[in-house]
Amino acid sequence: MKSLVRKATVETKTFWAVDEFDWVENEKRYGWVQCDRGTKNDQCGECLHALLDIFPQCCSTNVQWAIFGPSCGMRMDDQKFYQSSGNEGTSKSRKLIISFSVSGFVALLCFGVYCFWYRKRVRKDKMIFEEETLNGDLPSLPLIAVLHSTNNFSEASKLGEGGFGPVYKGILPDGRQIAVKRLSQFSGQGSQEFRNEVMFIAKLQHRNLVRLLGCCLEQNEKILIYEYMCNASLDFHLFGDDEKRKQLDWKLRLNIVNGIAKGILYLHEDSRLKVIHRDLKASNVLLDSEMNPKISDFGLARAFEIGQNQAKTKRVVGTYGYMAPEYAMEGLFSVKSDVFSFGVIVLEIICGRKNSGFHLSEHGQSLLLYAWNIWCAGKYLELMDPTLMKSFIASEVVKCLHIGLLCVQQDLADRPTMSTVVLMLGSDTMVLPKPNHPAFSVGKLTSKEASTLRSSNNLSINDVTFSSVLAR
């Protein structure tokens, strides 16, 4: 095997090699080594030699064995498992050999050195671990590797818990960090949502979407593996204390607004699928090491066919406060329902307060209605988070408020598309249309408003209103 490593890295520098060896009388062994094609030559050698160092601990007593590392692999067998007898093979043989290779994402799958071996004379074309996928794009990970990375799902590794189940931090042997999302047996999301998430994220690649690295479907476990976002979610910073919100100065908040908009635009218009997310909210926007936003959690997402603009469901799922009215009340969803959710997030980013529960504040009305009243009164900056006083640019805050109100209009036909939103955010000269009243609101009425409504509607109401019809 050392000679094969030398062939792959020194003699041919092709990053792969195969050969046969005389073992004992009338008995041969067949070997293969290969590195990921993106690996540098010196890194390839280091990876393969590291596997050789591990060999005595796992495989020295086995006739048939194989080991994979983060970006390389090797195998030995007493059966010939390739079609060429050396490095000088046909293109067909080379293609077959590459099928055994550690492909571009194996580095993300192995989570360190993972080895297993065959029983003597029993093969049936088994590989180290099979790249079974739910859709042909996403590899399945061995449970043993996931357990190792999270210290057996220890409490110390736990990052938090959502509707899907607990999320753990995992660490690869090379120091890279991952997020491991484990479906709870008591989760509100089931197998369909799990498969849904895998199907969409595996097919979607954008700098403003969280990256799904793999999944695990062993021993009744349903596990998703993501890139780790060291700055947690947007809501952690936005709705925390003053110190956390101060970390999000206006420049960062504007960058986050732009990033979310571009991510949604990709889902709606630029990806292979036309995807409606259906659960856009601050907690589903993750922040990377540079505070760039990445949209996550596609368990409720739906794909539209070419020409399809709207769909209806009897099962309304999502998060109240971010739901468009036509979806919450009638089950109708479209790109415009995502636009509505984006508008809510924009208003939350400006003021640093949640829409949900805002009516319980001293303002006595929903965030949407409060923002609308401020807009109508021309007191645009009153909505702004006080922690932004030293960093804001008035014209940009006003423009974002304007766009946010356009996105949360009650009539979905009035809301802009995300392509228009991105244009508006990027232009300093574009004339924006006047927004109409926002969608239904929940809030306390003033005594004057309540009196007016009682007399005009001839009905008895308490101090809470639930629709924009009443609010008007």
- 407: nearest Cα among 396, 399, 415: 415
Q: Does 22 qualify as catalytic in the annotation?
A: no
Query: Which residues contact residue 371 at a Cβ distance below 8 angstroms, ignoring those fewer than 6 apart?
Result: 347, 351, 383, 401, 404, 405, 438
Point out the catalytic residue in the list 19, 77, 279, 297.
279
What's the CA gap between 472 and 467, in Å, rounded?
A: 9
Q: What sign does the CA torsion over 108, 111, 113, 118 have?
A: negative
Q: Give burial (CB, 10 Å; 0-12/13-18/19+) of 62.
A: middle
- Tell me whether residue 105 is exposed, middle or buried, using C-beta atoms within 10 angstroms of its C-beta: 0 to 12, 13 to 18, 19 or more: middle
Closest CA to 378 of 343, 410, 402: 402
Residues in the chain: 472
* Block residue for tokens 């590989």: 127
Cα(217)–Cα(198) distance, rounded to whole angstroms? 12
Distance of CA 449 to the CA centre of its chain: 44
Active site residues: 279
